Amino acid sequence: MTVMESSLSTEIMYRKPQGPWQLAARRFVRHRIGVVSSLILLFIVGLVILGPAWFISEDAAFRPDPMRINSPPSADHWLGTDEVGRDILARIIYGGRVSLLVGLLAMLVAITAGVLLGSLAGYFGGIVDSLIMRFTDVMLSIPGIFLIIALSVFMGPSMRTIILAIGFLNWMSVARVVRSLFLSLKEQDFVLAARCLGVKDGRIMWGHILPNAMAPVVVAATLTVGSAILTETAVSYLGLGIQPPTPSWGNMLKNAQDLIWTAPWVAIFPGAMIFFTTLCINFMGDALRDALDPRMQL
Amino acid sequence: MTRYIIKRLLISIPVLLGISLVAFFLVQASGDPMAVYISNPNLSAEDIARLEKAYGFDKPVYVQYFYWLRKAIVGDWGQSFLTHQDVLLMIRQRLGNTLILMGTSFAITLIISLALGMYSATHQYSPADYLVTAFSFFGYSMPSFWFGLMLIIIFAVKFREWGLPYLPAAGMYPIRGEPSFFQLIRHLILPATVLSLISVAKYTRYLRSSMLEVIGQDYIRTARAKGLSERVILWRHAFKNAVIPLLTIIMLDIPQLFSGALITEQVFAWPGMGRMYWEHAVWIDYPVLMGIILLVSTLVVLCNLLADISYAIVDPRIRLS
Amino acid sequence: MTHRNLNILLALLTILTLILAACAPTAAPTEKIVTQVVKETVKETVVVAGTPQVVEKVVEKVVTPTPEPEKPKGTVVVGVWQEPKGLIWNIFYEAHTNDILDSMYYAPVALNEKDELVPEMLQEIPTLDNGGISADGKTITLKFKDGLKWHDGQPVTSEDFKFTWQFVVDPNTKSQTSIGWDRIESVDTPDNLTAIVHLKEPYVPFVAAVLSFPVLPKHALEGVPDPGNSEFARKPIGNGSFIFQEWVPGDHITVVANPEAMKQPKIEKIIFKFVPDMNTLVALLRTGDVDIAYDLRELQIAEVLKMKDVEPYVVPGVAVERYYFNLRDPNDLTKPHPIFSDIRVRKAVAMGMDRFTAVSRILQGYGEVAVTELDNHPWFNEELQPVPYDPEAAKALLDEAGWKDTDGDGIRDKDGKKLSFTHSTTAGNQVRENLQVFFQQNLKDIGVEMVIQNYPAATLFGGCADNGIFGQSKFDMIGFTNKPASIDLAQEWADFFLCDAVKNCETNPAGTNAWGYCNEKTDAALKCAIGEVDPDKRLACIKEAQKLIYEDYIALYVYDRLDVYAANKRIGGFNPTVFGSWTWNFEDWYVQE
C-alpha cells in the first residue's frame, strides 16, 4: 500500500502495526456517508431478496388487474398501481432484483475481462501488451451508448444482452489500472523469488500478484455496479432494456414517462429507487476508495 | 520530442483502424439495412432486389468492409440509406450543434468541479465537504432522461404557469422568434445542466484526492515552511500540479460525454449528432453510424494525442519511458 | 478557495441564470386590425308625429376594412416527432413525410371533409359513367385544371404527370414505392391538360390510390442524377397552397402561404417542429410553443384533456393493430406450424384474449375492438362481429384439439410438447407491451403460455438477409399496425393474404405474406377486389374476402387505433378526418387571437 502520505499515517505510527485491510476498514468507517450508504444499501438488498418471501406475492407484481389501473397510493397498494394495474411496491421489489442482478453480473463480466486482460498485458508486456492496450484504446474511444445500441439491435434486447453489453463496455479502466499495477509489482522481490522457484506464470499472476492489486479492483467493481444500473435505465429509455413482463427499475421508469402528469407516483418511486441506490453505491465506492487507495483514478 | 510525437501518431493509426473494424462489424451485424424498405408493404419484390444490388448488400461482410474503408480513406464516407445524402454533409450539419452543447456543459462541469473539488480538498471531512460530495453525486446518480424531463416540467412548464422567469424546453432557438446568441444561451441552460452534472462528481472527487495528495508532498511543506500565504500555496503550487493529471481523465471522458449527449439531445430536441445517431441506428443506416462513430473516435484519439504531447512537454520523464 | 469566493461564485451563477431566464421571448407583434372611426352623414327615415320624414344625421361609424381575399396571417407550429428523410414523396415514402408534403403539393384527386373523393388538380374524377375510365378498365383519361402553376412560376401540364410515372418506375430513382404506378403501360399527352393512361391490366385502385399522390415537376427533376441526393430533395418545388421556405436539419421545416394558390390559405406560415420525445412534445403543447400535435399516445390523452388552452381531437383511425399467426414452422418453413396450423388453436387463442377489457381499461376506452382490417372503411362487411372473449369455449376447443395439461404445470401439452408460443412486436412501444402483458395473463388462465419476445424495428421488419424476423418468418405470432396510404387500400390489404405474396427468401423475398397463408377462395376474392371494374361486383368480392380471412383466423385484429390530435384553441379550422387525416385542409386553418 502506498497510502502512507496522508495525515492518518502520523496517527498510526504510534499504534500497534495493523494489516492493510484493517487499516482500510478504519479509514472506511471514518467516511460517515459511506457507512450510512452501505447500511441503506444493505437494507435495499435485504428488502429485494427477502421481500417476496416475506410480504410480497408474485401475483401482485405480475398479474395485471384491469380494474385497478393507475390508482394512487392507498392502504392496499402502498405505492399505487401501474398502467396495467400491478402493484408498484411489488414491482419495485421484483424489479430491484433484476436491476441489482444486472448491475452485479455486468460488474462481474467487466471485472473479469478487465483483470484478465490487464494482468496479461502487464505481466507479459511486449507484443501482448501492445495488442491488448491498443484494443483497450479502441474500446475507450467509442462512446459506450453507440455500442450498446448496436449490440442490443444485434442480439435482440434481453437481460443477457444488457449484462454482456454493459460488461463489455466497462472493463477498460479496470484493465488499465490492473496493467499498471502488474507492471510495477512484477519487478518486486516476491515475484522474482516465485519465478526462481519455478512457479507457473498463471499462479504468479493470479496467486501472488493479483491479491496485491485488489484494492483498486474492489473500488472499480463497486462503482461499476452503480453505472450499470444507470446504463440499464438509459437503454430502457431507448426501448432496448429488459423486456416485459419482467420489471426492472429502468423499464418501470421508462414506462412511467407518459404518466408523469396524470399519475406521477408511477414515475417517482422507481426513479427514486434508481437514484438512491446509485447514490448509495457511489458513496460506498467513494468511501472504499478513500480507504483503499485515495489516488485511484476512477 | 519529434520522435515521441511521431511514435504517438503511428500508434493512433492501428487504433483508428481497430475502431473502424469493431464498429463496422458490430453495426453491420446488427440487422438488415433493407428493413426500412421491406417493412414497407408498397414495395415489390423487384424493387427490393434492385435496391439490394444498388447498395451492394449482396456481397460478404468483409468485402463490404474493405469497400467501405477504401472509400472512407479518400474522404468518401458514403451516402445515408435513409436520406440519400452524403454522410459527411449530414455530420457537418449537426456536429457544430453537438459541440456547442458539449462545450458548454464541459465548461460548466469544469467550473463547478474545480470550485467544489478545491473547496472539498481544503475542508476534508468537514460537514461542507460531505455536502459538496452529496451535491456532486446527485447529478451523477440521476437517470439523465428522467432528470431532463423533471427540469422541463419545473423550469419550462411550471415556472411559466406560475408567472416566474422560465426557460425554453426544447430546441436551440425559439420556435417562432429569430435566432440570436442570447436565445441560444437560454436554450442551452437545461440540456447543458443535465449533461454536465453527469461528470461533476467524478472530477470533483478526482480533484479533491489529487489535491490532498499534492498538499501532502514535500515541496508544499517547504513552501509552507518558507512562510508563503496559504492562498499562494494552494493556487500557485498545489492547484497547478493537481489539475494536470485531471486533464488526462477528462480526455478519456469525451466518449462518455457523447453518450450523454445522445440522450440529452433526444429529450431536449437538440438538433445534434447524438440524436441523429439514434434516429439512424433504429434503421441500421450504417454509413451514417460508421461516420459518426469514426468521427467521434478520431476526435477522442486526437484529443488524447494532444493531451499526451502537452503532458510530455510539461514532464520530460514521460518521453523517455 | 474560501467560503466567500464560493458564495460569490454561486451567487453569480444564480444571477446569471435568472437574467437569462428573465429574458422570455418577446411576444410576437400582434397584427393590429386597422380600425377607423369615420364620421358620415346618413339619411334616416324617422317617423315624426305619425308622418315619416327624411332627416339628415351625423353618426360615428367604426369601419374595419376587410380586404377580399383576406391576407393570410398568423403562424401555426406543428410538433412532429419524426423528421422527414427528404422531401420527394416516392423516394422518402413515409406517412409523416407525406403529411408535410401535403401542404406543398396538390394531387390529381383528394378527399373532402366527408372522406369523399373530389378532384383537386383534375377537372373531374374519371369514372365509367363520365367516360374517364374505359369500359374494359384499362384506359383512364385525366383532364387537368387550367392555370395551375409550380412555385417557380412554370405551368403544371400533363407532361408533368407522365414524367411522375416515369420517375417513379425508373430504377435509378431509388424509389421506395411504385405500387400502382407499375401497372401503367404508357401515358399519352395529346395536349397540355390531358393525359391518357393505358394500364397493363384493369387496376381499380388506380384513381383513388395512385392519383392521390403528388405530381412532380418535370422541368426541375428531369435528368437529375440521384434525385434523392439532389437539391430538390431538400428544397422542393411544389404546386400547392404553401411554398417551401426552409429546412433546418434536426429542427424544423417552414412553409409559407402561396399567394397564387388555387386554394387560398388563411395562415401565413406553418412551422413543422421536430421533437423526438413525445413527453417533451406534450410539455411544448402545454406551454403553447407548439400549436398542433398528432400521433399522440393513448396514455397521453388524459394529460391533454387537462390543458385549458388545448383541444384534443379523437378520430376513429384506419390503422388497425393486428396479430398474425404464423402458419409455417419458423424453424423449417416447408413444414406446417406445430401449434398454429390447427385452426382450432388459432381460434382458441383469439377467443382467449380479452380485447374488450383491454380496450376499455388498459386503453381507457381510446380505441375500439377490431373486427377486420376495414372496420372504419365504407367497404366493411357488417355481417362480421368481433371475435368474442370466451375463455370457456377456448378451453373446450383446445381440449378438442388434443392440448391438455397432463403434467400439471398449468400449461397444456400434447405429445410432450408444451402449448407455448412467442409473441413479437416492436420493442419499447409501451402500449403494445401493456397489451401483451395483459393478454399473456388471459392466455395463462386457459393454460396457454405466451412468451414475449420483442425486437427493435430494424430486426423485426428485417428482410431475408441478416435474420429479419418478418423477413424469415421467424415468429409464432407477430404484432404490428398498418396504416394504409390511401382510401383505396385493396392492394396493400390483399398483399398480406395473396398466395403469390407468400414470403420465401429463395423465391419471393419481397412477399408480404410472411405467415404463409394461401386459400384459393380468398385468393380469387382478393384478385377480384383489385381487378373488377364493376363497383358492385367489386364490393361484393371485398366483403367476401373479409369474411374468408376472418373465418380462417389468420390475423387477430386487436383494436382500431384512434388518431389522437391536439390543437391549441387559438387554431381554427383544424378538422381531422378518418382517411384525410389532419392534412386534407391546410388552407382552412386560421389563427384567432
Domains recognised in chain A with CATH numbers? 21-292 (1.10.3720.10)
Q: With contact defined as beta carbons under 8 Å apart, do B287 and B79 qualify?
A: yes
**Mean pLDDT score, C246-265:** 93
Q: What is the SS3 assignment for C22-45?
A: HCCCCCCCCCCCCCEEEEEEEEEE
CB contact set of B248 (below 8 Å; sequence gap of 6+): B307, B311
Longest dimension (CA), chain B: 86
pLDDT at position B75: 80
Residues of A in contact with C433 (CB under 8 A): 244, 255
- The Cα-based distances of C38 to C59, C70, C453 in angstroms read 8, 22, 75
Side chain identity, residue C28 = A
Task: Give me the pLDDT at residue B53, please.
Answer: 64
Q: How many CB atoms lie within 10 A of CB C36?
A: 9
Query: Sign of torsion, CA C86 C90 C95 C100?
Result: positive
Query: Which of C1, C26, C221, C483 to mutate to test binding with chain B, by most B CBs within 10 Å of its CB?
Result: C1
**pLDDT tops 60 at residue B14:** yes
Cross-chain residue pair A142–B297, CB shorter than 8 Å: yes
Q: How many beta carbons lie within 10 A of that of residue B103, not counting itself? A: 13
Separation of alpha carbons C312 and B286, rounded Å:
39
More confident residue, C464 or C342: C342
Asked if A257 contacts A241 with a C-beta cutoff of 8 angstroms, the reply is no
Q: Which of B28-32, B297-301, C40-44, C260-264 has the highest average model confidence (pLDDT)?
A: C260-264
Residue C353 within a domain: yes
Q: Is the pLDDT of residue B313 over 80?
A: no
For residue C212, what are the CA distances in angstroms to A19, A120, C156, C294, C495?
A: 83, 66, 16, 21, 20
- CB contact (8 A) between residue C85 and residue B84: yes
Residue among C587, C573, C591 at smallest CA distance from C104: C587
Of A171-175, B214-218, C49-53, C212-216, give the lowest mean pLDDT range. Answer: C49-53
Best A87, A243, A251 member to test C by mutation, with max C CBs in 10 Å, is A243
In the predicted structure, residue C509 carries a pLDDT above the cut 80: no
pLDDT for B45 beyond 80: no
Do the Cβ atoms of B166 and B160 come closer than 8 Å?
A: yes
Chain mean pLDDT for chain B: 81
Q: Looking at the predicted structure, is the pLDDT value of residue C220 above 80? A: yes
Mean pLDDT of C528-554: 92
Indicate whether A298 pLDDT > 80: no
**In which band, very low, low, confident or very high, does the pLDDT at C100 lie, cut at 50, 70 and 90?**
very high
pLDDT of residue C153: 92
User: Which chain B residues are closer than 8 Å to C83 by Cβ?
Assistant: 279
8 A C-beta contact, residue C263 and residue C587: yes
Chain C residue with the nearest C-alpha to that of B263: C277
pLDDT digits (tens, 9 = 90+) for A56-114: 778 888 888 888 888 888 888 888 888 888 998 999 999 999 999 999 999 999 999 99
Pairing mode of beta strands C252-257, C36-48: unpaired
Minimum CA–CA partner of A142 in chain B: B297
Is a pLDDT exceeding 50 seen at residue B13? yes
Q: Taking a C-beta distance cutoff of 8 angstroms, is the pair C276, C252 a contact?
A: no
CA A128 to CA A151: how far, in whole Å? 27
Contact check, Cβ <8 Å, C277/B269 = yes
Residue B56 confidence class, pLDDT cut points 50, 70, 90: low
**Structure confidence at residue B52 as a pLDDT band (50, 70, 90):** low
With respect to residue C534, please indicate whether it lies within any of the assigned structural domains.
Answer: yes
Size of interface A-C (CB pairs under 8 A): 81
Q: Cell 390489404 maps to which residue?
A: C493
Domain count, chain C: 1
Rounded to the nearest angstrom, the minimum Cα separation between A47 and chain C is: 25
C333, C473 Cβ separation under 8 angstroms: yes
pLDDT average, residue stretch B204-224: 79
In percent, the amount of chain A with pLDDT more than 70 equals: 91
Of C1, C250, C495, the CB nearest to B41: C495
Give the mean model confidence (pLDDT) for residues B140-167: 89
pLDDT for residue B25 is more than 70: yes
Q: Does C504 touch chain A (CB under 8 A)?
A: no
pLDDT at C195 exceeding the cut of 80: yes
Cβ of A63 under 8 Å from any chain C Cβ? yes
Residues C536-545: contacts with CB within 8 Å, 24+ apart?
A: C538/C204, C539/C379, C542/C374, C542/C379, C542/C381, C542/C490, C543/C379, C543/C381, C543/C383, C545/C494, C545/C497
Q: How many helices (H) and strands (E) does chain C have?
A: 16, 24
pLDDT tens, position by position, B242-265: 777 777 778 778 888 888 888 999
What average pLDDT does the segment C305-315 reach? Answer: 89
Q: In Å, how far are A133, B226, B238, B239, B243 from B230, measured between CA atoms?
A: 42, 11, 10, 12, 18
Stronger pLDDT, A271 or A54, i.e. the higher one:
A271
Name which of B28, B61, B144, B146 to mutate to probe chain A: the one with the most chain A Cβ atoms within 10 A of its Cβ.
B146
**CATH code assigned at C437:** 3.10.105.10
> Concatenated DSSP letters for A102-162?
HHHHHHHHHHHHHHHHHHHHHHH-HHHHHHHHHHHHHHHHS-HHHHHHHHHHHH-SSHHHH
Q: Read off the amino acid at residue B176.
A: R
Q: Please give, one letter per residue, the 3-state secondary structure of C130-160.
A: CCCECCCCCEEEEEECCCCECCCCCECCHHH
Kindly indicate the confidence band of residue C45, based on its pLDDT and cuts at 50, 70 and 90.
very low
Pick from C1, C248, C283: which is nearest to B119 by CB?
A: C1
In a domain, C489, yes or no: yes
Which chain B residues are within 8 Å of A11, Cβ to Cβ?
none
By Cβ distance, the residue of C85, C290, C471 closest to B32 is C471
CB contact (8 A) between residue A240 and residue C428: yes
Report the C-alpha gap between A27 and C193 in whole angstroms: 90
- The mean pLDDT value of chain A amounts to 83
Query: What number does CATH give the domain B87-314?
Result: 1.10.3720.10
- What are the DSSP calls for C267-335, one per residue? SSEEEEEE---HHHHHHHHHHTS-SEE-S--GGGHHHHHH-TTEEEEEEEEEEEEEEEEP-EETTEEEE
Of residues B51 and B142, more confidence is placed in B142
Which residues in A lie closer than 8 A to residue C361 (C-beta atoms)? 66-67, 69, 85
What pLDDT is attached to residue C134? 92
Pair type for strands C413-414 and C417-418: antiparallel
pLDDT in tens, B58-86: 667 777 788 778 888 888 888 888 888 89
CB neighbours of residue A119 within 10 Å: 24
Q: How many CA atoms lie within 13 A of C133 on its CB side?
A: 22
B12 pLDDT band, cuts 50/70/90, is confident
Contact assignment for A66 to C428 by CB distance below 8 Å? no
How far apart, in whole angstroms, are the C-alpha atoms of residue C12 and residue B119? 17
Distance (Å, whole) CA C423 – CA C455: 10
Cα–Cα distance, B173 to C106 (Å, whole number): 32
Q: Answer yes or no: do B169 and C85 touch at CB < 8 A.
A: no
Q: Is B174 helix (H, G, I), strand (E, B) or coil?
A: coil
C362 is a domain residue = yes
> Is there a contact between C182 and B30 if contact means CB atoms under 8 Å apart?
no
| pLDDT given at position C556 | 94
Q: Where are the domains of chain B?
A: 87-314
Domain annotation covers residue C282: no
Q: At what angle do helices A88-124 and A159-168 cross, to 10 degrees?
A: 40
Render pLDDT for C436-460 as a digit per residue (tens, 0 to 9): 999 999 999 999 999 999 988 878 8
C180 HSE (CA, 13 A, CB side): 23
Interface contact flag, B277 A146, Cβ < 8 Å: yes
B44–C510 CB contact, under 8 Å: yes
Out of A7, A30, A234, name the one closest to residue B263 (CB): A234
Q: Taking all residues of chain C, what is their mean pLDDT, rounded to a whole number?
A: 86
Which chain B residues have a beta carbon less than 8 Å from that of A32? 130
List of chain C residues whose C-beta atoms are within 8 Å of the C-beta of residue A66: 357-358, 360-362, 438
* Residues A212-254 pLDDT 10s: 778 888 888 888 899 899 999 988 888 888 888 899 999 999 8
Alpha helices by DSSP H, listed for C446-519, are 457-460, 490-495
Mean pLDDT of A248-274: 86
Q: Is the peptide bond prior to A264 cis by the omega test (within 30 degrees of 0)?
A: no
Q: What is the pTM of this model?
A: 0.85
Q: Residues C545, C535: contact at Cβ < 8 Å?
A: no
Angle between helices B286-314 and B61-73 (to 10 degrees): 60
* C228 at B interface, C-beta within 8 A: yes
C533 vs C550: CA distance, rounded Å: 25
For residue C511, the enclosing domain spans: 317-561
> Among residues 101-160 of chain C, which lie with CB inside 8 Å of chain B?
none
In the numeric block, which cell numbers belong to residue B295? 468521427
- Residue numbers in A near B30 (CB within 8 A): 150, 153-154
- pLDDT category of residue C403 using cuts at 50, 70 and 90: very high
- What is d(CA C234, CA C224) in angstroms, rounded to the nearest whole number? 14
Q: Mean pLDDT across the stretch C519-548?
A: 92
Compare CB distances from C457 to B41, B268, B282 and report the shortest one's residue: B282
Minimal CA separation from C533 to chain A, in Å: 46
- Residues of chain A found within 8 Å of residue B258, distances taken between Cβ atoms: 143, 145-146
**C-alpha cell belonging to residue A142:** 467509442
